[in-house]
Structure 1
């Protein structure tokens, strides 16, 4: 083999190696770009879903606020007038008078219940009271019904979160409590809030009948009912961890873990 042929082979080999090198680099760059594209697409989808959920929550809160205002301004006033009319009605029959007094008491209770419900639904009241007082207030309302016992325990040094986060957390807790009343056939609800190592843990526990709980699927909690999925999505929106444990005959426990890396001081400033 002469020197010219050897040089051609060397050049050809170098060209093949360079081509292979550039091909490998091209494949690596392509894959990196594809991965970045998929990540950006997933982030865009997540952002869209979060924005959509945020909009839905804002609409729900405005609807609740409107209902609260309607109860306070219209239904409550009508019942107040009915109670006043009964109080000013002159009746000679002692039996009828006793019935009027009983009706007054029932209407008075209905007015108070409506006021309590109006406050529980109103976003402004919840923000004014704060998360902990709002949870306690909700438990007090349930206890007033006489159908269930409640308890509330707080441990650790309490901290306040952003108002929007506190409102979302309260709606999750409120939904959990209402689920207990509707479905659990429970005699007691226990709410616990623990502040520890810059994490707030909330546990809502009942002694009801429980239910079969299927594992969370990788495709987005499709095994859960709508109410539980809504609670999970709300928790995800504010960076909270949501879990629920339940067994037939052993009650249900709902857990929320919320990072406290962004808290609010007494003056309303973010830390």
Structure 2
């Protein structure tokens, strides 16, 4: 009788041990399955993010190629044609009356001013021009061009000891400025725009402020705010953080922060395919 009781106890212990092992196995399997699911989800998210980054890089490179092409066409073709027209108009002066000569000279001056404006505009579109001058000098020339146009008053302030941020970074920052200027003119109807560049050893900051109509913060997530999202995406490509704030009738402020000590991955990855090179 005692032997049978011992057998029953052993069977119970063995069964309990098997159930515990089965339980541990099930828990382990579920944990492994969940871990694999999480890993797959992370890999999928990384692939999606990488694809978006590559797509954005490609789009920006195509835009730069297009801008360079337009710049060359404006400089090499359109300005040459206008210069030829101006020259021909000068040759006609001897055959005109004094009153007609005055009108002709006025027209020639307008053409000359148009040629100058087109050349300046073509430079602002050219990657080579921005690369050669650097960010600060390019912005200084843009301030002169914009203020001469009378469309908006641009104030540029530079603080700290200037240093190069790298070709691609400075190009992207300048394109963000151009996007912000376009928004201030086209959508915000701003009268003034302030650009601030702040250099120190640990951090570079670019601030763009306008006194335009402003917008609701929800626009940043709306399809109609693609230009604003484009600025944030461009900033992300060069490792910069972009903060855009605005409210109705309070203008818009764009603040970009960039650590100059962090390796310029975007520039390294795209240097061999840089526009205009």
Q: Same fold (TM over 0.5)?
A: yes
Separation of aligned partners in 2, 1:38 and 1:111: 56
- What is the count of residue pairs matched by the alignment? 260
In the TM superposition, residue 224 of structure 1 has moved relative to its aligned partner by 5.5
1:4 aligns with 2:7: yes
1:119 aligns with 2:127: no
Contact 1:161 1:263 in 2 (8 A): no
The residue aligned with 2:146 is 142
Separation of aligned partners in 1, 2:190 and 2:56: 31
Separation of aligned partners in 1, 2:118 and 2:8: 99
In the TM superposition, residue 4 of structure 1 has moved relative to its aligned partner by 1.1
Contact 1:210 1:247 in 2 (8 A): yes
Alignment of structure 1 residues 8-27 onto 2, 5 Å? 8-27=11-30
The residue aligned with 1:243 is 243
In the TM superposition, residue 143 of structure 1 has moved relative to its aligned partner by 0.7
Report the TM-score, using the length of structure 1 for normalisation: 0.90
The residue aligned with 1:31 is 34
Q: Which runs of 5+ in 2 are unaligned?
A: 265-277
SS in 1 for 2:95: coil
Q: Which runs of 5+ in 1 are unaligned?
A: 265-271
- Show structure 1 runs of 4+ deviating over 4 A: none
Structure richer in helix, relative to its length: 2
In the TM superposition, residue 262 of structure 1 has moved relative to its aligned partner by 3.6
Separation of aligned partners in 2, 1:140 and 1:12: 88
In the TM superposition, residue 163 of structure 1 has moved relative to its aligned partner by 1.2
The residue aligned with 2:178 is 174
Separation of aligned partners in 1, 2:82 and 2:60: 31
Contact 2:219 2:225 in 1 (8 A): no
In the TM superposition, residue 156 of structure 1 has moved relative to its aligned partner by 2.1
Separation of aligned partners in 2, 1:73 and 1:172: 26
In the TM superposition, residue 134 of structure 1 has moved relative to its aligned partner by 2.0
Contact 1:152 1:190 in 2 (8 A): yes
